[in-house]
A and B are shown apart, each in its own frame.
Chain A
Amino acid sequence: MSEVVKKFMYLNRRAPYGTIYAWESLEVVLIGAAFDQEVNLMFVDDGVFQLVKGQDTAGIGMKNFSPTYRTLGDYEVKNIFVDADSLAARGLTQDDLVAIAYEDMDTEEEIENIVEVVDAARVTELMDESDVVFSF
C-alpha cells in the first residue's frame, strides 16, 4: 500500500514544567510516531530549555519527562534541531543539552547524537520544507 508521507515539524517554544506545552508536545510526537511520517523536532526560544540535561523534579512534585527525549531515536525520530541564537541568548551551549542516539534498524548505522544546533537560515529552510507545522 502506498501511503503519502508528509513532513511534519513539531515547533517547541516553551520551557518545561511552567506550562503543559512541552509535555503535550512530547506526547503528540510519540503518538504521531506510529504513523510513519517524516518528523522534524525544532526547539527555539524557551523551547531549548526542554533539552537541558540533568533535570531533577523530585523537589517540585512533578513528573520528570526529560529522560523520554533520549528515547526519541527509538521512535524513528531522526531529526532534532536547536536554534543556535536561542541557546546563546540563554547562556547555554550544546554541552548543556541531552544527547539523543539513533540506530537505523535496517542498516544498523548508529548516530551518537541527532541533536543538531542550526542557524536561523536553516530553521527557516526547514520550516519552508515542512508540509505541516505543529506549534507548542
Chain B
Amino acid sequence: MSILHTVNKSPFERNSLESCLKFASQGASVLLMEDGVYAALAGSSAESQLKAGLGKVSIYVLGPDIKARGFHEDRLIAGIKVVDYAGFVDLAVDNDKVQAWL
C-alpha cells in the first residue's frame, strides 16, 4: 500500500514531520504544505532531519505555500520536488491513500 503523507505544521513548532519521517515506509511520498513548507528551507536547523528523510522517502513541497511565505525554489533543499495543486491531486491519485500528520 503506497501512502501519500501530508505535513502541514512547522518543524520548528511541532514534531509532525519528525514522526512522519520516522513511521513512513521506504519509498513513500511526503508532501509539505501550509506551515510544513518551512522544513524545505535550506540552512535551517531542520535541514539534517529532512535530508535524512530524502534517503527514505520522496519529498514534495506545495509551491503556492512557498510563494505565499516569501520564498522561491532557490531557497529549498536540493532533492525536494515542487508541485502545484494539480501535482497534489496527482500524488493523491497515484497513492492508495493519504495520511495527514496534523
Contact = CB atoms under 8 A, between A and B. Distances in A.
Interface of A: 14-19, 45-46, 49, 52-60, 62, 64, 66, 89-91, 96
Query: Which secondary structure dominates where chain B touches chain A?
Result: loop
B41 A90 contact: yes
A62 B13 contact: no
B13 A91 contact: no
B26 interface: no
B68 A45 contact: no
Interface string B6-35: 001110110000000000000000000011
Contacts of B13: 14-15, 45-46
Given A59-B67, A66-B70, A90-B12, 7 more contacts: A15-B35, A46-B12, A49-B69, A57-B68, A59-B63, A60-B64, A90-B44
B43 A18 contact: no
A60 B67 CA distance: 9
B38 interface: yes
A91 B70 contact: no
A21 to B, nearest CB: 11
